Structures are given as structure tokens and as C-alpha cells.
Amino acid sequence: MFVVAFLSSACNRSENQAEAAAGGNAKVGRHLIYSYGCGSCHAIPGVAEAKGTLGPPLQGFAYRTYIAGSLQNTPENLFRWITKPQEVVAGSAMPDLGVSDRQARDIAAYLYTLQ
Amino acid sequence: MIRPARVPKLTIKTTLFILAACLAVEGLGGLFFMASGLYNIAADEPHFTLARWMLQAGRTRSIQFRSRGIKVPNLRDPSLVRNGFVLYRKNCQPCHGAPGVAEQQIGRGINPKPPPLEIASNHWTNSQLFWITSHGLKMSGMPGFGSHLSETDRWAIVAFLRRIVLLSPADYERFSNATDLGIGGQNFSWVSNEDYGFAQLKAQGNSDRGRDLLHQYGCITCHTIAALSSGNTGPPLTDYAERQYIAGLLVNVPANTVAWITNPKRFKADTAMPNLNVQPAQALDMAAYLYTLGSPRRLTVLERIVAGHRSRSDY
């Protein structure tokens, strides 16, 4: 919710705001999303070849209330989910990919530009 | 009197000359571009859309053409599936991953990305999967296994690929444990003859009623459901028929959709999705509607595989 309030004020500044919320770089994040192959499982607007249907589509992610159906969509929860999904939901189809904290911030910054 | 014009003849000659000149310049330009090294061959940058399209379309046609006439053996033999699982884990999982298992670093660097086969195998017939496994694919990281795996072993992999589409991460872990602990075929169900709710969906699911029920139960307030709503509390159900997992835990087949809708907390105690006392028959109608969203291909293939397992006939 806090993210939504944070982001909804001005669309053209969405990248700056997303970066401020996540403390990362959205452009770097987009490239990381491509390199980690997140798009093999998720449909992610703006990322090449990201049309996966294994997991949920991530369009409008900045406005999503929950992550993984149980965590409030806050930057801290998102970092946790991206870096250690199996710790959050044991047995989830989302695997641990070895994303570092720094990288998770960049990835989150990009995801929060998706409105 | 009008004199016959000579102009057309000249024009044709000139046109041909200009065309030839253009082709020569283009060819030279292409060579120059190649020699310049400006084209980025780096695998960590995506292809241009046009290049990707050409590669994919050409690859698909080639696979279809080359795999004609390959005879498919019986793929429902449990020992074949078991063997296929062992071979998959060793040879395919490092690059393609598996339900709940990430690919290794080496697979992640490949361009195009080795696709998750829980979805991608639905795009190919048994003969095509066998051909791809045997020969590999140029201009992708896919190696051919024909030189070091026997024909039976390659068919075993295909047999397992027909199974992997029905495995949840928990199922895959059970498969792994069963082979790690050396539990043999007779003690473990390598080929399930469950129906996964397909028959019931066909016989009783009513998508019109389902759409009304999605309104009535307020599903639309939390989920984006194509034409119906734009809720963003839960995940969008856009293209639901194509989605592989429900809540990241269950394989998306009719029986699991019904089970999840009627009692989500049974599968995930802390899920934000509430138990709304939806009756199984109502959930079946909802499922019927949700399965109209997106391409029907995945469910068609799954239904055929399930029917094959049950009737013990070929598929």
C-alpha cells in the first residue's frame, strides 16, 4: 500500500520513485531480470522474451497487494521473496536463484516501475 | 502515325541493371557489416525481435519437417518413465530446471534461454521431442544426445517429458527422493492413472454460470479476470488456461482448481485467499469459465496425456 501511495503521484517520474522505494537501479534491474531468466516463468512488460506462464504475470506489480499470496507487497518483503523464496513458501515453484541483496534491490526497482 | 516506342525495352534492361547493382551493394554492405564486428554476438543481450522471429519460425518448421515418420513406442511404461526421470535429472535439469528446481548457472547464460519443459514440451509431438533430444538445435545451446544416449534412453526422456507437465514441485521432490533412496518401480507410482478432473469438467462445468459465480462470490474484487475485472489484491488470472501452477504449489488442472477454490487454506495456511464456502459444483463452473481464458493448447495436450495414461492406449 505504501508503495502504491508512493508511486501513484506522477507517472512520468515513476522510475525515480520506484528506484527510491526499492533503493536500486531500475535499468540494471531490468537487465538482471533478463539474465536470471525470470521471463521464462513470468510475463514481465518491457523485458525481452519475458512471456512465461509458469508463474503469475507481473504487469501492474507496483499496485499488487500481496506477494506469493501471503506477504504484503512492501520493498523489504519483496527483497526477501526474490532472494529466498523457498524460505517464504517451502515447496513453491519459485526456486532459489541465488540473487544477492544488491541485485534484489535493482530487480525490485524495475518491478515497481510496472504500473 | 504513332511510331512504336523503344522505351519499354530500355526500361526493362535498366531496371534489371539497377536491381543487380542494388543486390551487389546490399551484399557488399552485409559483408562489410559482418567484417566490421559491429553486430553484437553477446549472449547476455536479447536478440532483435526480427532475428528472434526468424530463428524461431525457421527452427519450428525444420523440426516439423525433419521429424516426419518417426515411430513412437509405448511411452506409458512405468519403468521407462522412471528411467526418463533419472536421465532428465542428469542431462536436462542443469539447463532447463524442473518443478521447483532452478536451472544451474551454466543453463542461465544460454541465449535463447532453455525453456522450462513443464510448459514448452506441450508445443511438440512425441516424435518432435525425440528428434530434438536426439539431434539438438543449432543456434541454441541445445546439444544432441544421439551420440551418447541409446534410442531407448532418448524415448525414456520423452516419456518423462509427458509426465513432467503434471508434476508439482512436491511431486518432483517425491520422485527425486524415490530414486535417491533406490525405491523401485513397483513401490512407487511413476505413471498416475488419475483423471485430474478433466472428465467432470467436460460433463458438468458451465462457463456461463461460472462467470456469474465469479461475480457473486466477489472473486473479481481481488483478481484481474480478463474482461470482467481489474482487481490487484491477488495475481491476475489472465490467460488462466495457460498457467502451469496454482499458488505456486499445485499443477493447474481442473481437479486442483476446484480444490483450491473450495479450500485454499488447506494447501497454504497463510494465504490471503479466503475460504468462501464455494461448493465443488460451483467451483467447477468457475473453472470452466477460467479455462476459456488464454490458448487452450496446454489443457488439450494435458487432457490427451491423462486420457492416454488411463486407457493405457497410445497418445
pLDDT tens digits, one per residue of A55-69? 999 999 999 999 999
Contacts of residue B239 in chain A, CB cutoff 8 Å?
Answer: 53, 57
Per-residue pLDDT of chain B (315 residues; tens, 9 = 90+): 566 655 566 688 888 899 999 999 999 998 998 899 988 888 888 888 898 899 999 999 999 999 999 999 999 888 999 999 999 999 999 999 999 999 998 888 898 999 999 999 999 999 999 999 999 999 888 999 999 999 999 999 999 999 999 999 999 999 998 888 766 545 678 888 889 999 999 999 999 999 999 999 999 999 999 878 888 999 999 899 999 999 999 999 999 999 999 999 999 999 999 999 999 999 999 999 999 999 999 999 999 999 887 665 444
Structural domains of chain B ordered from first start:
57-64+73-187 (1.10.760.10), 198-311 (2.60.40.420)
pLDDT tens string A24-44: 999 999 999 999 999 999 999
Residue listed under C-alpha cell 516426419: B68
In a mutagenesis test of the B interface, which of A53, A59, A114 is the best target, namely the one with the most B β-carbons within 10 Å? A53
ipTM of the shown complex: 0.87
Q: With bands split at pLDDT 50, 70 and 90, how would you rate the model's confidence at A10?
A: very low
Q: How far apart are CA B286 and CA B307, in angstroms?
A: 23
Query: Which pLDDT score, from 0 to 100, does residue B178 have?
Result: 85
Query: Which pLDDT score, from 0 to 100, does residue B5 have?
Result: 58
Which residues 6+ apart lie within 8 Å of B300 measured at CB? none
Contacts of residue A35 in chain B, CB cutoff 8 Å?
Answer: 44, 108
Query: Which pLDDT score, from 0 to 100, does residue B2 have?
Result: 63
Query: Which pLDDT score, from 0 to 100, does residue A11 have?
Result: 46
Contacts of residue B235 in chain A, CB cutoff 8 Å?
Answer: 56-57, 64, 69
Residue A103: closest CA among A34, A54, A46: A34
Q: How far apart are CA B165 and CA B127, in angstroms?
A: 17
Cβ separation B170–A91 shorter than 8 A: yes
Q: Which of residues 197-226 of B touch A (CB under 8 A)?
A: 224
Distance from CA of A53 to the nearest CA of B (A): 5
Structural domains of chain A ordered from first start:
2-111 (1.10.760.10)
- The torsion region of residue A46 among left (phi > 0), alpha (psi -120 to 50) and beta comes to left
Is B175 in CB contact (< 8 Å) with chain A? no
Asked if A70 and B271 count as a contact pair (C-beta separation under 8 A), the reply is yes
